Structure 1
């Protein structure tokens, strides 16, 4: 085991919240020498008992290894923690939540300090880390050479998906997917609200709702194809005019059920605006153009 450990890439991990701790345990279990640091030293103690080396300061932790992984609260925390550390010659992998612009600025910040940079955004919750069948993965963007160099090590906690040399792309993909998730949750929220006052078991509605969302999900491929071709009428089944005509039924049903329409109304208004400006034969894809103006 000791010989195997020596062959694995040493890792320094800054930040031992729930996610950082999960990452740490997977690297330790895989035999990677691990140096850890956290603002609250007590968080490092259980990991030290499992074989990690605890550093007294962030600077000491950074000095210990070439591969530095940062998993902190926010972009401001990265500034605070790395202030005064020597990053020359270090490979900095930043898994901290940020915006695309913050990620691009952080990449330049790292370059000015002599470090190579990868931005990473985790598409998983802590219990999914280290569990391959859970399907968690991390978007990475930035230096392709750095990604290839450390791909095997980075793949230990979760799958890896490299999305481009632009350091902001991992954050952009992350927020794009999570935005779609929240919009889906909004729709599910409205669906449950509609039935809340009736003699309908929510656990009976749930599988129907889940199956319907799964059945509708492939529509994103048609949307993408229409965006790329510029032809929003391509492959249309239910056109914009037809769908706008149906919106009053949704709003009246909400009123009858005593449910606020505030989750649906903004999207319906965008649909009506697009119909007024474009062609009723289009799909819903044109609504995207309204949002990016």
Structure 2
């Protein structure tokens, strides 16, 4: 037996169901690290290059599931997960199902109960990376659910990220909850950048010119996170930098500037509305972290 064959034989077989951009990247990473990899996709042609590199193309979802002790599914949504796996649920018995399909925490917990009915160990995961980053230090993957199943397959899962394999908790929904929270940060930052780019565009300033200063501002803002996190956990919001009242004044300027220049005012209005409600609740002289109380409330 060759060295490469011996290496593959010593590694856990993995099945990947779903070969979209992310699923394809996952399968490629397992394959590149010597794991016998079985793949299935509704459009079989998406597996051609993987098969050329040594993957096995299953002729059905059932045979794909039965090929490996670790079954990874990464498809468009949970409806697709159930449509594919529910008809072959009995084949999941005794196997670990890792679901890397984006979901809410409620959906993840429901899926865990569904998998338990088939006697399958269930892990839910969240991928904090673009497909091209899978297998590198730029990828972080979060896992929650069966700790025993994670420990069994931890070495296998580490091939998906050089440094970012993070097990969170037995709560199956926690990885999805982290994912939604992190996506909120991403969209918040990007929307703020787009607002600024639109404002500067009225003065013919290119977004590429703005980008370096925008990155500086984003980096400076990260320094607030640790300090504000401690305030939030303690429920005490000393204004060591600026008060909500000071922030509110700046928000009024942003709103007026946007309106005067014909730029969309929805985001500045949201900022100002939250600050005004915080001030009305008695937090005008507290730090910006006091706005956590507004985010903890349902919208009216």
Give the match for residue 114 of structure 1.
119
Distance 1:17 1:247 in 2: 42
2:29–2:135 Cα contact (<8 Å) kept: yes
User: What is the deviation of 1:245?
Assistant: 2.7
Distance 1:25 1:130 in 2: 9
1:179 aligns with 2:164: no
Q: Residues 8-29 of structure 1: CA distance to partner in whole angstroms, max 9, x if unpaired?
A: 1110111111111111111111
Distance 2:250 2:83 in 1: 53
Alignment of 1:1-293 (within 5 A): 1-85=4-88, 86-132=91-137, 135-158=138-161, 159-233=164-238, 236-293=240-297
TM-score by length of structure 1 reads 0.96
SS of structure 1 residue aligned to 2:113: helix
Of 40-49 and 147-156, deviating more is 40-49
* Structure 1 consecutive aligned stretches of length 4 or more whose deviation exceeds 3 Å: none
Distance 2:286 2:114 in 1: 45
Q: Residues 126-161 of structure 1: CA distance to partner in whole angstroms, max 9, x if unpaired?
A: 1111233xx111110001111111111111022311
Give 1 or 2: higher helix fraction. 2
User: What is the deviation of 1:125?
Assistant: 0.9
SS of structure 1 residue aligned to 2:71: strand
SS of structure 1 residue aligned to 2:159: coil
Distance 1:114 1:138 in 2: 25
User: What is the deviation of 1:243?
Assistant: 1.6
Q: Residues 241-288 of structure 1: CA distance to partner in whole angstroms, max 9, x if unpaired?
A: 222233222222112322121112112101001101123221122222
Q: CA RMSD in A?
A: 1.2
Distance 1:163 1:4 in 2: 30
Distance 1:288 1:50 in 2: 50
Distance 1:169 1:76 in 2: 20
Mark the runs of 5 or more structure 2 residues left unpaired by the alignment.
Answer: none
